Amino acid sequence: MLVAAAACPCPPLLVPEVAAGAAPELDVARAACTDALGVLAAARPGRLVVVGPVGGAGVGHHPAGTTGSFRGFGVGLDVRLGEGEGEDAEARLPYSLAVGAWLLERTGWSDAPVEGFGVGESSTTEQCLRSGRELAARDERVALLVMGDASACRTLKAPGYLDERAAPFDAQVARALGAADLAALTTLDAGLAHELKVSGRAPWQVLAGAAEGADLGGSLLYEDAPYGVGYVVAAWS
């Protein structure tokens, strides 16, 4: 059963070494992520699953010990998802889960075994809900660290340019995550999310499936759109 969850953004820029000179601009977001992870630790889960978006419609499990790297950004920084050797020495974490692994390393996570779950950004709502239910059933006390960004269309200089639908969509997401509103997350428009370049829609719907019957309350810790991309941090317990 799900006992706690944290929703965090997943841009590699969250990692100071990647952001370089622009690193201070996301200090408030990093601090909020640290607070959200504190909520997970306080729940004393028996298992932590890091959920993040990947391309396509498939899903992928990443065992403890799977490594990730930010070398593609010109940074000699590697991360490891929890403790373990990983089942495939050649496997690599997608960037969304690598950022999650970095957050866990940064806060010194040692409270529960960790594994990763990548969910395709084009997965249907029902597929996401089903995956969430399956993850919640993996332990008597499961926590989720859910990685994903809101729209990338908030300003003229945003990756997806300015779209007037972006701000209302992001506000809907922030309200839903802040209130632990499963119905609102479940009814997020997948088509609109795709048009607005939202990476978090599928992971948030995995969260909604995992939280069914859990009776958790939510708290919105951060919501902003630096670089024209919507970032939301929330904690559920």
The structural domains of the chain, ordered by start, are 2-236 (3.40.830.10)
Report the C-alpha gap between 174 and 182 in whole angstroms. Answer: 12
Which residues have C-beta within 8 Å of that of residue 234, sequence separation ≥ 6? 6, 7, 36, 174, 177, 178, 218, 219, 220, 221
Phi-psi region of 112 (alpha: psi -120 to 50; beta: other; left: phi over 0): beta
pTM: 0.96
Quote the DSSP letter at residue 64.
T
pLDDT band at 22 (very low <50, low <70, confident <90, very high): confident
Please tell me the least confidently modeled range out of 4-13, 55-64, 119-128, 228-237.
55-64
Helices and strands (DSSP H and E) totals, the chain:
8, 9
In tens, the pLDDT along 41-85 reads 999 999 999 999 998 777 889 999 999 999 999 999 999 998 876
In tens, the pLDDT along 84-98 reads 766 555 568 999 999
> How many alpha carbons fall within 13 Å on the CB side of residue 218?
24
Residue 39's pLDDT is 98
Beta bridge partners, 4, equal 143
How many angstroms from the chain centroid is the CA of residue 73?
20
Residue 92's pLDDT is 87
Helix (H, G, I), strand (E, B) or coil at 131: helix
Beta bridge partners, 47, equal 142
